[in-house]
Structure 1
Amino acid sequence: MAFLGTLCLILVLTTLAGNFANRLGVPAVIGELLIGIVIGPAMLNWVQLNSLVSLFSDIGVVILMFLGGLESDLKLLVKYLKPAIIVATSGVIFPVVIMGAVSWWWGFSALEALFIGVIFSATSVSISVAVLKEYHALGTREGATILGAAVADDIIGVILLSLMISLLASQGIQTAGSQPALGLVLLEQVAFFGGTYLLVKWIAPYLMHLSERLVMASSVTIMSMVICLGMAWLADIVGLSGAIGAFFAGIAVANTPYRHTLADHVEPLGNAIFIPVFFVSVGLNMTLAHLGENMGLIVTLTVLACLTKLIGCGLGARLSQFSWISSTVIGTGMIARGEMGLITAQIGHQAGLMSNTSYSAMILVIILATILAPLFLKPALKRMPVATQP
């Protein structure tokens, strides 16, 4: 029952922090992220990232991405699929090459440096989705490109991680747990996206229509959450982020007559409990241990983590005929790091590829880049031409 007190504390503090952030003209997400740092191990140590907090956080990111899918235009996503792939590819190449080279120059071995580049090739679009929703930009062509690029980025990240694990094995380094072959992983992901097409086209409309006929309170909302959680679970099984599965579940349900009703029902549920815990959990990962001795490395990698995505993804957008302003929006929307970066860093740490000190530094850089991303995205959105907004 002690968790109930923790949950109460998180909800009170994130509500107040979001209020102050909005009054200062800063995205509310920033206030919620900072609360996690203040009450977590980095400062007051009131709250730790235990199993219950992690569980609520996982549900929070799933609901957030489901809502993002509900507000997305499927035709717009398909229309901007090609530029999304270009943005994702260039946004992976830049951090792998540049951050890998800088890490090698800093004194890491070639294998360690390459691994650091792979860590920061990942993008977590969950934070950007929250900001895009707050400023009503999910339905723009820039928003569609960011979301599409995030999906492609996740797939590329899985491929790079699988290749990196194979490389570690060839060097005689054992990673934690057994890892499936790359070919099998890709086959499973192809099957997942094939199932996603069936879900959008036939399964979701049928299930939602069926739920309306059930003599049960909130049956339509319950069915939508079954689809959401089921898709998140399947995405996780095939090696993708559960957030990606939830996003496509949102798109599938959005193509039914129940779109607006569900947004009104699910959004209060997410914002009232689970989504604030997700944002706080990001800050709870931060620790200030060994901060002084790694300050130069942390600052350098944080700057590069932001610039490589901003420039890499922005250049990809520019090559896809977006304006400079729109390219900046797309580049800033891809800066945040998250689940895939944390997972990759953990694998490297468990394999003995990184020391405790280096691992703590990588985690801190991931969190700092995630916190900085909304600060860059907001002013970029404000400069976006009115014609591209809904």
Structure 2
Amino acid sequence: MDFIGALCLLLILTTLSGHLANRIGVPSVIGQIVVGIIVGPAMLNWVRLDSSLNLFSQIGVIILMFIGGLESNLKLLRKYLRPAVIVAIIGVIFPVIMIGGATLAYAFSPLEAAFIGVVFSATSVSISVEVLRDYHSLDTKEGATILGAAVADDIIGVILLSIMISIMGTEGVKTSGGSTNILLIFAEQVAFFGGTYLMVRWIVPYLMQIGERLLMTASVTITSMVICLGMAWAADVVGLSGAVGAFFAGIAVAHTPYRETIENHMEPIGYAVFVPLFFVSIGLNMSLAHLGNSIVFVAVLTFLACISKLFGCGLGALLNGFGLSSSYMIGSGMISRGEMGLITAQIGFSSGLLSGTYYSDLILVIILSTIIAPFLLKHAIRHLPATDSADVSLDVQERVAENNRPS
């Protein structure tokens, strides 16, 4: 099946599955991931994740995080920066210790076990952003903490991955100057965040004003898209996820007079094609070929992948004064590994840190934990007392009830 035919099929199926998922009270992303599992190599093998679908998927996660930045409250992000960093640090330590320790029982070397722990220290907030958007919880203290922690988690993960590759003496991620240098990567990331501050404060407002003066249809939207893709590319160059750059691009555009216009234009662009394909691609990555031989290993790691983030990040939230319900929500929002886990595992595989068999098992664990995460986050949001979200202008519980009401 060629790309256009596959694209047509996937858009039909993701639309129907998303509708059905919402009707039965399940996050729509679950239905879209399940579509990828059913039509992909795991079951029917109708569609494979080729370079074209993968490109659309990457654009999807960038647009999704850009929209997440547009809808975020910068004041809340600043207010909860400290707890977000603590949540990220503890949320990295727990998976490295718990999962790294567990894999030692499967005859992995200490360095290999440590690397697997690093793989599961990563967090992909993209799926959590979608669930938070569905339930109108991005603009809450919990949502701000999850977003801030995910950014810090990404930075920590990149540093740990660089250290592991350097220790094991293999050739991994490349910079423009040659082999990875940890200090150089750190310096580049500091420069990126310095540039991001300039973008938010001065450059983006000026660029948006220029865009408004251009005699082109949707010139303001085109300008915002250039900013989004440019900052995503810059983040990728310095070793961060492109999603991080897109998120900060969204925050920058949100602090201009064009926020509402851009939000109204970007959602149809993203959700018509690109965002559904990102969620489908997660299912398309799944393979069940070796499941019979490693089902216990996969089950143990899946359990630990969920528990380590839930308890680690939840503990970090508790230590910062959040209540149990809020801590449960923050821990649930950090479980998803998504594209960050897949990227980290791929780097390890291409660097010779993982065998082909164990690489497939880790991919399956990443996907399973990513599927479980939205269910836990939805449950946490629905059981969040209104008093635990004083930063929200409307009661979250009423919005959740409205979201679950059949249309």
User: The TM-score by the shorter chain falls in which range?
Assistant: over 0.9
Which residue matches 2:303? 303
Q: How many Å separate the matches in 2 of 1:133 and 1:344?
A: 26
For residue 270 of structure 1, what is the amino acid of its counterpart?
G
Confirm or deny: 8 A CA contact 1:157 1:340 kept in the other structure: no
**Range with greater deviation from structure 2 (174-183 or 347-356):** 174-183
Q: Which runs of 5+ in 1 are unaligned?
A: none
* Secondary structure at the counterpart of residue 168 of structure 2: helix
- How far residue 179 of structure 1 moved from its aligned partner, in angstroms, is 3.2
Structure 1 distance, partners of 2:222, 2:140, is 29
User: Is 1:190 the equivalent of 2:190?
Assistant: yes
1:242 corresponds in structure 2 to: 242
Superposed displacement of residue 214, structure 1: 1.2
Structure 2 counterpart of 1:78: 78
Contact persistence 1:176–1:350 (CA under 8 A) = no
Cα distance in 2 between the residues matched to 1:50 and 1:179: 28
The aligned counterpart of 1:50 is 50
Find the counterpart in structure 1 of residue 33 from structure 2.
Answer: 33
Name the SS of the counterpart of 1:294 in structure 2: helix
Q: Which amino acid aligns with 2:39?
A: I
Q: What one-letter code is carried by the residue in structure 2 that aligns with 1:284?
A: L
Letter in 2 for 1:362: L
The aligned counterpart of 1:145 is 145
- Counterpart of 2:396? none
Any residues of structure 2 matched to 1:148-297 within 5 Å, and which? 148-169=148-169, 173-175=170-172, 178-297=178-297
Number of equivalent positions: 387
**CA distance in 2: counterparts of 1:347 and 1:278, whole angstroms:** 20
Q: Does 1:327 align with 2:332?
A: no
Give the C-alpha shift of residue 74 in structure 1: 0.6
Alignment of 1:54-69 (within 5 A): 54-69=54-69
Aligned to 1:21: 21
AA aligned opposite 1:82: R
Deviates more, 1:351-360 or 1:365-374: 351-360
- Unaligned runs of at least 5 residues, structure 2: 394-407
TM-score by length of 1: 0.97
Q: Which amino acid aligns with 2:327?
A: S
Q: Which moved more, 1:310-319 or 1:202-211?
A: 202-211
SS of 2:291's equivalent? coil
Shift of 1:174: 4.4
Match of 1:349 in 2: 349
Secondary structure at 1:315 match in 2: helix
Query: In structure 1, how many angstroms separate the alpha carbons of the residues matched to 2:143 and 2:351?
Result: 37
Is the CA contact 2:171–2:179 (under 8 Å) kept in the aligned structure 1?
no
Task: Check the 8 A contact 1:123/1:336 in 2, yes or no.
Answer: yes
Cα distance in structure 1, aligned partners of 2:345 and 2:72: 31
Q: Which residue identity is paired with 1:92?
A: V
- Evaluate the alpha carbon distance shift between residue 176 and residue 126 of structure 1 in structure 2; reply closer, same or farther with a 3 A threshold: closer
Distance across 2 between alignment mates of 1:11 and 1:364:
24
- The question of whether the paired residues in 2 share the 8 Å contact of 1:19 and 1:28 is answered with yes
Q: 2:360 & 2:50 partners in 1: Cα distance?
A: 18
Q: Against the structure 1 CA distance between its residues 174 and 243, is the aligned structure 2 distance closer, same or farther, given a 3 Å change threshold?
A: closer
Q: Secondary structure at the match of 1:154?
A: helix
Task: Report the secondary structure of 2:179's partner residue.
Answer: coil
Q: Aligned-pair distance for 1:175?
A: 4.2
- Name the counterpart of 1:131: 131
- SS for the counterpart of 2:292 is coil
The residue that corresponds to 1:91 in the other structure is 91
CA distance in 2, matches of 1:379, 1:339: 23
Paired residues of 2:173 and 2:180 also in contact (CA < 8 A): no
Inter-partner Cα distance in structure 2 for 1:382 and 1:179: 47
- Distance in 2 (CA, whole Å) between partners of 1:174 and 1:28 is 39
CA contact (8 A) 1:204 1:252 kept: yes
Amino acid at match of 1:106: Y
Displacement of 1:384 in angstroms is 1.2
Once the two structures are superposed, what CA deviation does each residue of 1:7-62 show, in whole Å capped at 9, x if it has no partner? 11111000000011001100001000100100101011111110100000000000
User: Is 2:70–2:254's contact at 8 Å kept on the other side of the alignment?
Assistant: yes
Q: What is the CA–CA distance in structure 2 between the aligned matches of 1:154 and 1:341, rounded to whole Å?
A: 10
Higher mean Cα deviation, 25-34 or 379-388?
379-388
Which secondary structure state, in structure 1, belongs to the residue aligned with residue 335 of structure 2? coil
